[in-house]
Structure 1
């Protein structure tokens, strides 16, 4: 069974992932991105840590918006290779490393962000505790994950479009799922589990969102109605 990093290093998976991300009105674009940007707010003169930096385009965007520095980490070598090509300007640094193994300097960052990466982490409290230590006093954590309603049952993501299976919701742990033509290990937690993990890592929880669709983001009523059926993402913010 592949972990998140080795999963995205598979050529077929990598290509399928980017095809899905580039689709018009992809869930990432119309649901996750607008909300996480509103939660982050201004990044002017902030030192930013990004867990799951992907191809580096988001880091490029943050630097263009005035971030003082950007430090991206990703467990996929393919993603890191792309990120290094995309982040050639500004104060940017990208490393290939699993979150569980990362060593971060204390008090260095003002903002830690993670977009759809922490559901690949087994010991979330351990990782978030490292993140908390790396933040300056008052520093913020903003992250998104797949919504627990989707991750609860490992068969859910293999069902036909428009249908979902919710089962074993309060049984936290690994879920081996078929995704983009291969199998990958994700970790399910309830909303309560995520809330407590953020607290146990040393953060004060500030906000929780469930990616409720905004009609203005959609070109058709049908697509908007489809996205109103079930939450796809969970987003949270915390402050040190």
Structure 2
């Protein structure tokens, strides 16, 4: 099946470019303060970033003295931007679907991914591939949209007639699979899976769970954008750290 690649649609890419995380990098990503705290030391480590986008995590790994950094993304547009922002030829960018990675066994000490796996249909198969390409004792840390967020296709709050937020609805949580959502454009395909599926797929692939986090916005974020206070009412992100 052809992989959806919205990021190479120019209008979609232009809208993505306006987001805080696109403009400000890691400091513009609301979950970064938690994801960063879950990373191991990257010094002298071989690091793989799946769904690397603009390459923010790749450059972070290089800055933190990783010995090898590889970023993988399906989007030609994303990788072009990553190359423009990267002034070090030691960071390698590969245009490829995440699901199709085929690295040699025991190639990487650390694997990172940010908000990419909810676009992947078969998480268990990918988990197996990641496990195989990692060294024993290696760390795999990734974020996804929280299953509470992906359960409904609408992915939105319930409002009253005046447009005031009432609550975040959950429906069809146990019904895993494809969701056609609206994110910067209509008909964006994502895949919903439960918390237990994420965790059990990783365990069955051979990983040991180290930590699970559901990030909340910092006080600084809420002060900068008062609407962020609503992110205290339900988790938007889900971050897992596991070890081989």
Asked whether the 8 Å contact 1:47–1:111 carries over to 2, the reply is yes
Give CA-to-partner distance per residue, 1:78-116, whole Å, 9 cap, x none.
111222233341521111111121111110100000000
CA–CA distance in structure 2, aligned partners of residues 49 and 24 of structure 1: 23
Deviation at 1:23, TM superposition (A): 8.3
Q: Please identify, of 176-185 and 102-111, the stretch whose mean Cα deviation from structure 2 is larger.
A: 176-185
Cα drift, residue 236 of structure 1: 0.2
Residue 236 of structure 1: aligned partner: 240
CA distance in 1, matches of 2:105, 2:115: 24
Q: Secondary structure at the match of 2:37?
A: helix
Task: Normalising by structure 2, report the TM-score.
Answer: 0.88
Aligned to 2:218: 214
Q: Which residue of 1 aligns with 2:153?
A: 154
Q: CA deviation at 1:61?
A: 1.9
CA distance in 2, matches of 1:144, 1:54: 14
Query: Does 2:119 match 1:115?
Result: no
Q: Counterparts of 2:224 and 2:54 in 1: how far apart (Å)?
A: 30
Of residues 149, 169, 181, the one that matches 2:185 is 181
Distance change (3 Å), C-alpha of 1:184 and 1:159: farther
**Cα RMSD, aligned residues only:** 2.6
Query: Is residue 200 from structure 1 mapped to residue 204 from structure 2 by the alignment?
Result: yes
TM-score, normalised to structure 1, is 0.90
- Uncovered stretches (5+) of structure 2, i.e. residues with no partner: none
Q: 1:122 to 1:221 in 2, by over 3 A?
A: closer
Give the distance between the partners of 1:209 and 1:80, measured in 2 at CA.
29
Change in CA separation of 1:84 and 1:236 when aligned onto 2, cut-off 3 Å = same
Q: 1:30 to 1:101 in 2, by over 3 A?
A: closer
Equivalence for 1:85: 84
Find the aligned partners of 1:170 and 1:51 in 2 and give their Cα distance.
Answer: 27
Residues 1:218 and 1:195: Cα distance change in structure 2 (over 3 Å): same
